[in-house]
Chain A
Amino acid sequence: MAMENLAFLIPLLPALAFVLTFFLGKKLPSGGAIIPIIAIAISCVISLSITAGLLANPGHVVTQSVHWFAILNLGILIDPLAAVMLSMVSFVSLLIHIYAVGYMSHDPAKPRYFAETALFTAAMLGLILSDNILQLFVCWELVGLSSYLLIGFWFHKPGAASAAKKAFLTTRIGDVMFLAGIVLLFADIFAILEGKLPEGVYLLQFEEIFKFIPELVAINSTILGMEVSHLTIVTLLFFGGAVGKSGQFPLHVWLPDAMEGPTTVSALIHAATMVTAGVYLVARTFPMFLAAPGTLMVVAMLGAFTALFAATMGIVMNDLKRVLAFSTISQLGYMVLGLGLGAVIGAEAVGVSMFHLINHAFFKALLFLCAGSVIHAVGTHDMRQLGGVGKVMPITFATMTAAALALAGFGIPGTSIGFSGFLSKDPIIEYAYVFATETGNWMPYLFAITAAFLTSLYIFRLIFMTFTGKPRTDYGGHESPSSMTIPLAILGVLAVIFGALTRGTFMKFIESNFEHLDMNALAELGGYHLGPHGHEPLLILWMPLIVAVAGLVIAYLIYNKRVIDMSRIVSSENPVYKLLYNRYYQHQIFVEIFSVKIIYEGLALASFYSDKMLDWLVNGTSTFLIEAGDSLRKFQTGVIQDYAAAVVAGVGLLVILVKLIMEVF
């Protein structure tokens, strides 16, 4: 199969497009958008054909590897997990690039935009097909860099500049943890091998790392009086990286602010690239997590908490894009929760989580592009000023409704009939129930089901406030050009049918990823057993749909029929509203307590040292030089005669000197 040999082109073509667009974009029509579009289209074709090959023959994993230095390599590993991610990322990114041709048509800095989005896509694709953890980390950082550049794309706006900085710094906390995890892992493997490195083996390749899991479990350290295995520490640190990138509590704060970039960038960040990287990292190293049940518990709890936490904030936001941002955080919470349930369901956890990731990518990209279409047409993203947009923008309205139904999770339980979001979110909630019955910990299930209700409420609040009723202001508006509506239609179809089409095959496909590893043995290393789990009661099966419908009905009654006057509830006096609207004051806590109180005060001592001692040294040097120069410059009289006299005197001296020397010798 020739396509497999071209696998290395998948990230390289968009990277090349970045360089070309950056330097030549100005000379080409529409800012050189055609270059990244063609590059990503080719990447997409290669990815899809490799995926098709893997579907026919799941054991046939694509690997390529070249020596880098010492015991490190640059390599490609395309197994089912990577293949579906590659296909999704390149496909969604392609649609977003096509859409951006219309969306960014009025922006003068188009070449920079398309170059940076191409780099973003290239970094993400490189991250996905890395076969070793170090290469993954390098791409991980590149993703962070490009997100910084793109969030701050309109850097002349102070809001965008500070949002970019916030995103970079917040994810950095996670990145440092991830790096620490890699360093610790490497040091441990080195210790296990007692410094004797085997020939021809690249130790940081995932397959090699997995072989060391039993030894890693055996190494223990005492932290805060608790005996913790190094595998738990390493996986926790990896998960810390995922928390930063995938916007989990408490490092989600950058994600809502990332709205300052162009809407297409938001769609890229939220759907295809960036935020899925964290989930993918956990899925990629899942065998390690499976042998560390302590970490899995943290993963499950944090995911469930984030799902609920973000959903509560989503219901009070008035900004179209901000609602969607909180929705993303919440849905990422579901994916992380799905992974955390691995302690009960084993490799199936990766299947459901990745299934939700892919479905979410489609409907979330769609939601953002629809929002972008509305913003492009009416020029505002404040929902309070909109209303009745559905009449002027029928295509956008229809596709956005489809995406909302997918997000809220509408479908018939127990069958394969339903919107894509239903078919992937439902299993996560059901498995959370299984988790509750097996471990007695009901928190993830309760949080997940409450979040499902709130999800339905906030997304239909958005739909009703924006698209139905009477216009609240005179905003004009028109349907968007076809370069924008065609991607919407494609994504709309996928959001509706993708889940139903692939449900059975997808899960099996992803699970085949770990077939060569003995999951039960890994679980036993972690000290527990993976058993078969029974079926859920009928009520549990129907519960997600019931809460979704409840959310829809309540949103309809409040925001369309207006049976309750929201203006009485929504006021600055209502403490709950204030708390939610100010996002639990988390920004204030971070800035005023952590930054101002702790870090600044801590710096006081350092500043004393620098003021009194370093400054003396630095200022002393400069004062000395200034004074020396002050006295020496008197020699420069500025009178030409003086200079001429000095020259003549010099020549005279030289003659006398030469004469003297001649006489001596």
Chain B
Amino acid sequence: MIPLNWYLALSAIVFSIGLYGLMTHKNGIRMLMCVELMLNSANINLVAFSSYNDDMTGQVFALFSIALAAAEAAIGFAILMSIYRMRDMIDVDKLNILRW
């Protein structure tokens, strides 16, 4: 059986990749994908602990969070689509008309 720590390590790696991507990219779609990575790293943790503690609650919770992520992604991409139609680009740092 694979030890719990390995799962936690995987989760930490995935989270870090996501965080790195979020901090360095300006493309809206990439950033959204990085956010998804971070969210899924948390899901890995939930499932891992659930499996090791013989408690199904964690897995159910993970399912909820996946559903939520899907909804979030749908909205996020819809917003990015409409931004693209208006501006012909999706660089979030150029969307600054409301800034001081």
Are both chains from one complex? yes
Q: Hey, which bits of chain A sit against chain B, CB under 8 A?
A: 633-634, 636-641, 644-645, 648
Query: B19–A634 contact, CB under 8 A?
Result: no
Interface residues of B in 8-38 (CB under 8 A from A): 19, 22-24, 26, 31
Query: B23–A645 contact, CB under 8 A?
Result: yes
Query: A639–B93 contact, CB under 8 A?
Result: yes
B35 (CB) vs chain A CBs: closest residue: A644
User: B71-100 interface mask toward A, CB cutoff 8 Å, 1 = contact, 0 = none?
Assistant: 000000000000000000000110010111
Contact of A636 among B19, B24, B93, B100 (CB under 8 A): B100
Query: A648–B19 contact, CB under 8 A?
Result: yes
A640 to B100 CA separation, bound complex (whole angstroms): 15
Specify which chain A residues have a CB less than 8 angstroms from the CB of B96 in the assembled complex: 638
A644 to B19 CA separation, bound complex (whole angstroms): 8
A638 to B97 CA separation, bound complex (whole angstroms): 10
Q: How far is the CB of A628 from chain B (nearest CB, A)?
A: 14
Contact of B22 among A633, A634, A636, A641 (CB under 8 A): A641
Supply 19 A–B pairs (Cβ within 8 Å), ascending by A: A633-B100, A636-B99, A636-B100, A637-B99, A638-B93, A638-B96, A638-B98, A638-B99, A639-B93, A640-B22, A640-B31, A640-B93, A641-B22, A641-B23, A641-B93, A644-B19, A644-B23, A645-B23, A648-B19
Q: How far is the CB of A643 from chain B (nearest CB, A)?
A: 10
A641 to B93 CA separation, bound complex (whole angstroms): 9
Specify which chain B residues have a CB less than 8 angstroms from the CB of A640 in the assembled complex: 22, 31, 92-93
B38 (CB) vs chain A CBs: closest residue: A644
Interface size, chain B (Cβ < 8 Å): 12
Specify which chain B residues have a CB less than 8 angstroms from the CB of A636 in the assembled complex: 99-100
| Interface class of chain A by DSSP | helix
A639 to B91 CA separation, bound complex (whole angstroms): 11
Specify which chain A residues have a CB less than 8 angstroms from the CB of B100 in the assembled complex: 633-634, 636
| Interface class of chain B by DSSP | helix
Q: How far is the CB of A39 from chain B (nearest CB, A)?
A: 57
Other than the given A641-B24, A641-B93, 11 more pairs (CB < 8 A) read A636-B100, A637-B99, A638-B96, A640-B22, A640-B93, A641-B22, A641-B23, A641-B26, A644-B19, A644-B23, A645-B23
Q: How far is the CB of A633 from chain B (nearest CB, A)?
A: 5
A642 to B31 CA separation, bound complex (whole angstroms): 13
Interface residues of B in 32-57 (CB under 8 A from A): none
A644 (CB) vs chain B CBs: closest residue: B22
Q: How far is the CB of A632 from chain B (nearest CB, A)?
A: 10
Specify which chain B residues have a CB less than 8 angstroms from the CB of A641 in the assembled complex: 22-24, 26, 93
Specify which chain A residues have a CB less than 8 angstroms from the CB of B31 in the assembled complex: 640
Specify which chain A residues have a CB less than 8 angstroms from the CB of B98 in the assembled complex: 638
B97 (CB) vs chain A CBs: closest residue: A638
Specify which chain B residues have a CB less than 8 angstroms from the CB of A634 in the assembled complex: 100
Specify which chain A residues have a CB less than 8 angstroms from the CB of B26 in the assembled complex: 641
A640 to B26 CA separation, bound complex (whole angstroms): 9
A530 to B29 CA separation, bound complex (whole angstroms): 103
B34 (CB) vs chain A CBs: closest residue: A644
Specify which chain B residues have a CB less than 8 angstroms from the CB of A644 in the assembled complex: 19, 22-23
A328 to B26 CA separation, bound complex (whole angstroms): 82
Q: How far is the CB of A311 from chain B (nearest CB, A)?
A: 71
Specify which chain A residues have a CB less than 8 angstroms from the CB of B93 in the assembled complex: 638-641
Q: How far is the CB of A650 from chain B (nearest CB, A)?
A: 13
B31 (CB) vs chain A CBs: closest residue: A640
A638 (CB) vs chain B CBs: closest residue: B99
B22 (CB) vs chain A CBs: closest residue: A644
A648 (CB) vs chain B CBs: closest residue: B19
A645 to B19 CA separation, bound complex (whole angstroms): 9
Q: How far is the CB of A48 from chain B (nearest CB, A)?
A: 71
A79 to B98 CA separation, bound complex (whole angstroms): 73
Specify which chain A residues have a CB less than 8 angstroms from the CB of B99 in the assembled complex: 636-638
Specify which chain B residues have a CB less than 8 angstroms from the CB of A639 in the assembled complex: 93
Q: How far is the CB of B85 from chain A (nearest CB, A)?
A: 21
Q: How far is the CB of A630 from chain B (nearest CB, A)?
A: 8
Closest 4 CB pairs of A and B: A638-B99, A638-B96, A633-B100, A641-B23
Specify which chain B residues have a CB less than 8 angstroms from the CB of A637 in the assembled complex: 99
Q: How far is the CB of A656 from chain B (nearest CB, A)?
A: 17
B24 (CB) vs chain A CBs: closest residue: A641
